[in-house]
Structure 1
């Protein structure tokens, strides 16, 4: 149904050139002050796309985002203490 997506943080040196990163994937955020971009792309073509991004002269470094690997399902193992704090 939905393609598996992966996120990358791209550190750049030229703000105007970095606005053209949307050709390589979905550009989620651009930071002008810290000079990085957050972008998402399909996981099946991500490796090839990263190689193409590294060839660009304004790209300094590319880091993979580990957001999809973080556990987001939590368990509640502590007892409910709301009855002790009643009025």
Structure 2
């Protein structure tokens, strides 16, 4: 139903020019202080999109997000310890 998306963290030298990344996918966030942008693209076209983005003059480095690969389901095998640390 929904396409599988993957995140790309793109380190840029010019934050104003980073707004042009919208044409490659969904631009989620731009950090003005740390000079990076978070872009979500379709997973099946991610490699091709990365090649096109690397050619841009203001792009320093591209990293792939590991969020899809992390386990987000947790088992309840550990007992809850919050009652011991309460006031």
**One fold, TM greater than 0.5?**
yes
> How far 1:82 sits from its partner (Å)?
8.1
Take 1:15 and 1:41, find their aligned partners in 2: how far apart are those partners? 20
TM-score under structure 2 normalisation?
0.89
Q: Relative to structure 1, is the Cα distance of residues 10 and 83 closer, same or farther in structure 2, using a 3 angstrom cutoff? A: closer
Match of 1:22 in 2: 22
Q: Relative to structure 1, is the Cα distance of residues 67 and 82 closer, same or farther in structure 2, using a 3 angstrom cutoff? A: closer
Match of 2:55 in 1: 55
TM-score under structure 1 normalisation?
0.89
| Structure 1 residue ranges, 4+ long, deviating more than 3 angstroms after superposition | 79-84
Match of 1:75 in 2: 75
Q: Relative to structure 1, is the Cα distance of residues 15 and 72 closer, same or farther in structure 2, using a 3 angstrom cutoff? A: same
> How far 1:79 sits from its partner (Å)?
3.8
Take 1:18 and 1:83, find their aligned partners in 2: how far apart are those partners? 47
- 5+ unaligned residues in a row in structure 1: which ranges? none
Take 1:36 and 1:76, find their aligned partners in 2: how far apart are those partners? 37
CA RMSD of aligned residues (A): 1.9
Match of 2:37 in 1: 37
Q: Which has the higher helix share?
A: 1
- 5+ unaligned residues in a row in structure 2: which ranges? none
> How far 1:44 sits from its partner (Å)?
1.0
